[in-house]
Structures are given as C-alpha cells and as structure tokens.
Structure 1
Amino acid sequence: MGRLIDLTNKKFGRLSVVRRGENDKRGEARWVCLCECGNTTVVNGYNLRKGITKSCGCYGRKRTSETKKTHGLTKTRIYGIWNNMKDRCYNTNNEAFERYGGKGISVCDSWKNDFSEFYKWAMENGYREDLTIDRIDNKKGYSPENCRWATTKEQSNNRENVHEVTYKGKTQTLSEWADELNIPYEVLYKRFYKGMPLDKVFDTEIKTNNQRSITYNGETKNIRQWAKEKGIPYKTLHKRIMDGWDIKKALETKDNPLHNQITYNGKTQTIADWARELNINYDTLKQRLNKYNWPVEKAFKTPVK
C-alpha cells in the first residue's frame, strides 16, 4: 500500500477537504469535504486528486436539470445510455463500478456535464437503436476520440477478456470463427465455454430445420411436433437441443414463459430485446423477472444502482 497523501485543507473544484473519513470497502482513503453549496460529502481520495469528483453532486444536478428542460429526451434510449455511462464510472454503488470507475475509467468533461454534447456526437457518428456505445481502447475512458457505436458482436471482439482460439493452425476470436464457419455466435460460445472438445465445437453440424427427428420413450417426432405435445415453445425446445441438452431434460423441463415473450405497454419482446431497449444489463433484468419475481413494471422502471 502506498504512502497516504494528506488532502486536508486542500481544494478540488467546489470541494474543500475538512478531514480524513472512513476507508471505503476496498480499503481506499476517503475524505470529508465541504462543498461551495454548503453540503458535506465524503469522497474517494483518488477521485479528488484526478478531478473526477469536483462537487457534492450539486453541479451535475444543476446541469442535468437545465438539460432536461431544454432537450426533452430524458425518456429516450440514448439518454439512458448517457446516464448509465456516467453511473458506472462514478457511482460506487453501481454493480459495474469496479470494472469501470474502479479501474479509473471516466467520462470526458464535455460529455459528463452536458447531455447535448453527447447527443450531438452520437447523431453525427452513426447512432442507431440497435447499436451500443463501445470504447475503442478499453484502457481509456469515454470520449469522442475513443468511442464508437458498435454491434454486440463487434463489442465482444473488443473486450479485454476476448478469447482467441487456435484450431487447425489458425487463431481467431470466437465471433470470427462463427463468421467463417457460418455458425451462430451464441451456439459457438456456449459450446466452447461448456468445455466441449474443439473438433465438436467447430465441426458439429447444426440442423436448423424442424424436421430433425428425436426419439424419446420409443416415439420418434420432429422438434416442432415434440414442442406442441409438451407445450414448450418451438424456439425454446430448438435452442435446448442446439445447446446440447439431454433429450429427457430438454423435453421434460417445464418452460418459464418469462424466458420468452413479455408484453408491456402493448409491445411484446424477449427479455434480451427489452434489456437492449431499456439499456439494462440482461442478467440484471432476467434476475428481476425470473429469480426475484418482480412485477414487469417494477423490473423495467427501477434504476440500476
């Protein structure tokens, strides 16, 4: 652990350091600060020294309030992307903070303090409803120079933990293998991370038509016929078979309708589609609905902390 830097009586932005506070849960020093607005707040020393936190939040709330009055976009997807981007970088209670703000990832001042600047950049640089914001260099923060709009597959290729696989003397990422072999990326990903041998991961034939025959308890039927008899949505049963489920488990496991389609405000989509539209992490939304049995409206409208 490095030597403690005493910040007492120093000023950072609108904050004046009064005294040392209690360490945060990671053991990092925090400081009690007095803001120019009169509020007292406790701030991580790193955030103070790096200029990440400059007020108790009053300045950001003021700018956000002003922005809300002028652009009228607070309920749009792009506003949610902007808000979540900041939250995972600066809110220590955000479940993704350790992977972003905890690693020193920040948002440039022009975007952090002004949604209209972010919105202008987004509109001029290819924003679409089916794309997400992606940092080109994962070691740097969010800024016009380091961001782009990308598909999920493009973003997966750009992650720090992207996995390259060597097979038959050729090395590529899983998504690149998926493109070359014309196998859905999701199928390839699940095969690989289930520990299947590489020859089975890459060479197992995918039968996508519903005429594939399955024999169970002495009866032989295709997937669609089994789905109808067992009361399981065809897509669900087909996915189970493609994922390598045991036939008995695939046919006898009762389906949870929340895994399929959810209707809200007259619109019906899968959980994955709702997660993308609402800019909520898929696993978070799935847990709310399936594990904790939250009402749909609560699951959709509760902010991610």
Structure 2
Amino acid sequence: MADRIKLPKMAPGQRYGRLTAIEFSGRDHAGKILWKFRCDCGNDVTARSASVRYRRSSSCGCLQREAATKHAMHKTPEYKSWSQMLERCRNKNHHAYKDYGGRGISVCDRWFKFENFFADMGKRPEGHSIDRHPNNGGNYEPENCRWATPKEQIDNRRPVTLHKRMSKNNTSGVQGVKRHCGKWQANITFQGKRYHLGTFTKIEDAAAVVHEARERFAIMASSSA
C-alpha cells in the first residue's frame, strides 16, 4: 500500500478546499486533533484536522448540499461573476488574489449568499462584468459596485497597476492591447503561454476581447484549482 503523503502542519490562514483554518479547538473523544474552520459560504465548522488536510472534508457541508440541490442559476453569468468575486477576495491560491484579497479588498457579509448578490445587482448585461467604483477604493458591496463595459473598466483601472504590468513599448494604454500597422492587436498571457486574440480597427473592440478572455481564463483557473 502506498505511503500517505506527509503534509505540513496546520496553521491559521491555511486553505483546504473551501475551508480556511482559524484556530486549534482541542481533541475529540478519540483523541483526534480538532480545528475550527471558516467555509467560503460563511459558516464556521469544527472538524478533525487530519480529515481536512487529506481532503476527506473540504467544506462545511455546503458542497454536498450544492451537489444534491444545484443552484438553479449556477450556469448563469451572474453566478459566475459572484463565485469569481469570492475567489479573488478569499482564496489565497487564486491567481488574482494578490490584486484583491491581498490588497485588503473584501466581500460584504450580505453577498456571501448569491440570492442577496443577485437581488442587489440584477441581471448582468451582455458584455459587462462587475466593477468596483471607484476601483482604487472600497470593497464589494451594493453601494460600491456596478455592471460595467470593458471600456468603463479600463477608464476605472488603477493607474499604478497599469504602470506596473504594461510593457514599456505599450502604445495603447490598455494592458494586452498594442498598436500594429494601423490597427489594434489583442493578446493575453495565461500560465506562461501567450495567446493572440485578433486584430481590430477599434481599440474598444480589442479591449473587450482581452477582458472577456481574462474572465474565461479566470474561470478555467478556478475550476482546475
């Protein structure tokens, strides 16, 4: 029989599936170590640390409930925006965490529940995505968010972020878009690989394609995590 993989000791802040370790909570009747965890859905749960570390438990039970009764809107654009918003702010392993949760940006308690998020934001117009306004301040909450077009997102983007991420040769002022032979080229890099998304007459069209690609890759990265 294969040896069990030895994992690092548990510590506050470590994530296991949807669970984030909070603190040691003693031992159970069998002498097994217990920890208190906070689930991404907002619930706190106490569980054996070994079960969580070896992924026999990866949520407070909400994963099982979701599997039994899948949310009626789980395939909608609104649900995908909501789940990605939570991932960016709460999952330290998410590729965009450093720009959101890592900067102290959080999601209000009310929006831990999708039904509340949808009631406040409504249906997502085609070609739009969630935007904090102004982008450089505030958290994800009803008073600070809107559905925005790629151009509105660009106009609202943090100048410091653009300065840090754009190539010195960038001629558009938009990350992933550059001027070439009188037109605008759209490109994106994902997991070390560069993708050419097309060439466009209008900068707005190139920016929109880049923005949509970022969303698709973000979902792919989250699904494979």
TM-score for the superposition, normalised by structure 1:
0.41
Q: 1:40 and 1:85, CA in 2 relative to 1: closer, same or farther beyond 3 A? A: same
CA positional deviation for 1:34: 3.9
Find the counterpart in structure 1 of residue 29 from structure 2: none
Q: Alpha carbon RMSD of aligned pairs, Å?
A: 4.7
Opposite residue 141 of structure 1, the aligned amino acid is N
Between the aligned partners of 1:82 and 1:244, the Cα distance in structure 2 is 31
Between the aligned partners of 1:243 and 1:274, the Cα distance in structure 2 is 15
Find the counterpart in structure 1 of residue 111 from structure 2: 111
Between the aligned partners of 1:64 and 1:83, the Cα distance in structure 2 is 17
Find the counterpart in structure 1 of residue 35 from structure 2: 40
CA positional deviation for 1:40: 3.1
Find the counterpart in structure 1 of residue 72 from structure 2: 72
Q: 1:33 and 1:102, CA in 2 relative to 1: closer, same or farther beyond 3 A? A: farther
Alignment pair present for 1:96 and 2:96: yes
Contact kept in structure 2, 1:135 and 1:148, CA below 8 Å: yes
Aligned residue-pair number = 164
Contact kept in structure 1, 2:130 and 2:148, CA below 8 Å: yes
TM-score for the superposition, normalised by structure 2:
0.53
Between the aligned partners of 1:75 and 1:116, the Cα distance in structure 2 is 14
Opposite residue 76 of structure 2, the aligned amino acid is T
Alignment deviations for residues 159-203 of structure 1 (CA, whole Å, 9 cap, x no partner)? 222699xxxxxxxxxxxxxxxxxxxxxxxx942569xxxxxxxxx
Contact kept in structure 1, 2:105 and 2:138, CA below 8 Å: yes
Contact kept in structure 1, 2:88 and 2:100, CA below 8 Å: yes
Between the aligned partners of 2:65 and 2:210, the Cα distance in structure 1 is 27
Between the aligned partners of 2:161 and 2:59, the Cα distance in structure 1 is 42
Opposite residue 242 of structure 1, the aligned amino acid is G
CA positional deviation for 1:77: 2.0
Find the counterpart in structure 1 of residue 49 from structure 2: none
Alignment pair present for 1:242 and 2:182: yes
What secondary structure sits across from 2:92 in the alignment? coil
CA positional deviation for 1:39: 5.9
Find the counterpart in structure 2 of residue 303 from structure 1: 223
Find the counterpart in structure 1 of residue 155 from structure 2: 157
Opposite residue 118 of structure 1, the aligned amino acid is F
Q: 1:78 and 1:193, CA in 2 relative to 1: closer, same or farther beyond 3 A? A: closer
Between the aligned partners of 1:273 and 1:131, the Cα distance in structure 2 is 12
Find the counterpart in structure 2 of residue 133 from structure 1: 130
Alignment deviations for residues 82-129 of structure 1 (CA, whole Å, 9 cap, x no partner)? 1110001010101111111111111111111x1111122222xx6302
Q: 1:71 and 1:120, CA in 2 relative to 1: closer, same or farther beyond 3 A? A: farther
Q: 1:139 and 1:192, CA in 2 relative to 1: closer, same or farther beyond 3 A? A: same
Between the aligned partners of 2:67 and 2:115, the Cα distance in structure 1 is 7
Between the aligned partners of 1:23 and 1:108, the Cα distance in structure 2 is 19
Q: Percent identity?
A: 28
Opposite residue 114 of structure 2, the aligned amino acid is F
Asked which structure has the greater CA Rg, the reply is: 1
What secondary structure sits across from 1:279 in the alignment? helix
Between the aligned partners of 2:128 and 2:85, the Cα distance in structure 1 is 14
Between the aligned partners of 2:69 and 2:171, the Cα distance in structure 1 is 49
Opposite residue 145 of structure 1, the aligned amino acid is E
Contact kept in structure 2, 1:33 and 1:41, CA below 8 Å: yes
Greater fraction of residues in strand? 2
CA positional deviation for 1:279: 2.7
Greater fraction of residues in helix? 1
Structure 1: segments with no counterpart, 5+ residues: 1-19, 25-29, 44-51, 165-188, 195-238, 246-257, 262-269, 286-299
Find the counterpart in structure 1 of residue 51 from structure 2: none
Contact kept in structure 1, 2:121 and 2:142, CA below 8 Å: no
